[in-house]
């Protein structure tokens, strides 16, 4: 197959009511593992890069390596910049070879979000690069390097997803004004590890689906119950972002292995073998659940 943009990879998903998994991959080992599962299952796949993993020369190393992997893959692969807020960095990422980018202006006033998103779209579309935006705001549970993050008993320590749901009244105006290719919507999910069990607003999603003229995206797919993911797909979600569950699978396995050893002089190829398989199990299960398995003929 070949490198594709987000618009290309989500067109069939929207038409046939399945979702494509979008997996953050911080290094080559993670990227190769996800592609191997996608090829095994004959599934299209979206590999995402995070700004924190791409600073400095890492941007070129990441895009050069992953573009080479994608071109050799037997399934469609989209390289997507996840949750970027700096326009100059987004443009640099486009120039470096990303086929899709996300500008996250979800915390901005809507007209400012529209203005900056439109600027990104105008630049990206010159290079056939797709643009995802966010309307409403998907907040955080426990993410990144935080051991505590948002605490279950601290009402001020986390974003209540119900406070930032996507407003249907704003959706058409936003899409028409920006010419985006995909839209991340806030319907009750959260990034990272959930602090509280998610309450998804399917009535809101149904309304949004009837309005949207572009594929809709769910952020915070890790930890969201399987039945909720299935129902979200039925109601128009075409791309689901996964990261925390991959990390949990990898590092739980790695922790078990390291705790079983008397010394730490372990070759990385040995240390990472089982953790990568554990991560691949997560990816395999998600692709199957989302309905993208056997979509590549």
Cβ atoms of 101 and 46 within 8 Å: the answer is no
Note the maximum CA span of the chain.
61
- According to DSSP, the residues that pair with 184 across neighbouring strands are 134, 217
Two structure tokens written together for 285: 């299960």
Helix ranges (H only) for the chain are 6-16, 28-41, 58-72, 87-96, 110-124, 168-178, 202-211, 226-234, 244-259, 268-271, 273-290
Cβ atoms of 116 and 101 within 8 Å: the answer is no
Tokens 């990144």 appear where? 144
Work out the end-to-end distance of the chain between its first and last CA atoms, rounded to an integer number of angstroms: 11
- According to DSSP, the residues that pair with 22 across neighbouring strands are 46, 241
Cβ atoms of 222 and 282 within 8 Å: the answer is no
Cα separation, 26 vs 49, whole angstroms: 7
Cβ atoms of 131 and 117 within 8 Å: the answer is yes
Q: Is 82 a catalytic residue?
A: yes
Q: Residue 39 — φ and ψ, nearest 5°? A: -70, -40
Chain length of the chain = 297
SS3 content of the chain, % helix, strand, coil (to 5): 50, 15, 35
Two structure tokens written together for 150: 């948002």
Cβ atoms of 24 and 49 within 8 Å: the answer is yes
Catalytic residue (choose from 57, 64, 82, 167) = 82
Positions marked active-site? 82
């Amino acid at each position: 197959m070949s490198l594709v943009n987000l618009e290309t990879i989500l067109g069939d998903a929207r038409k046939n009511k399945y979702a494509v998994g979008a997996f953050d991959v911080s290094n080559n080992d993670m990227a190769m593992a996800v592609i191997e599962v996608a090829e095994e299952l004959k599934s299209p796949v979206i590999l995402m890069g995070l700004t924190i993993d791409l600073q400095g020369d890492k941007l070129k190393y990441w895009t050069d390596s992953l573009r080479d992997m994608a071109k050799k893959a037997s399934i469609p692969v989209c390289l997507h910049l996840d949750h970027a807020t700096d326009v100059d960095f987004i443009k640099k990422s486009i120039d470096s070879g990303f086929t899709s980018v996300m500008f996250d202006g979800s915390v901005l006033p809507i007209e400012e979000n529209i203005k900056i998103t439109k600027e990104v779209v105008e630049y990206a579309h010159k290079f056939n690069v797709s643009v995802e935006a966010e309307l409403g705001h998907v907040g955080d549970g426990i993410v990144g390097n935080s051991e505590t993050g948002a605490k279950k008993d601290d009402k001020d320590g986390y974003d209540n997803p119900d406070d930032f749901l996507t407003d249907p009244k704003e959706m058409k105006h936003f899409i028409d004004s920006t010419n985006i290719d995909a839209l991340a919507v806030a319907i009750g999910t959260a990034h990272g590890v959930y602090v509280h069990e998610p309450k998804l607003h399917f009535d809101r999603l149904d309304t949004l689906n009837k309005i949207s003229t572009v594929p809709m995206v769910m952020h915070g797919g890790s930890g969201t119950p399987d039945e909720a993911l299935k129902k979200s797909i039925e109601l128009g979600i075409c791309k689901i972002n996964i990261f925390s569950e991959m990390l949990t699978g990898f590092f739980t396995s790695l922790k078990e292995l390291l705790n079983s050893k008397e010394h730490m002089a372990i070759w990385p190829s040995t240390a990472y073998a089982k953790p990568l398989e554990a991560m691949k199990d997560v990816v395999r299960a998600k692709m199957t659940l989302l309905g993208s398995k056997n979509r590549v003929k």
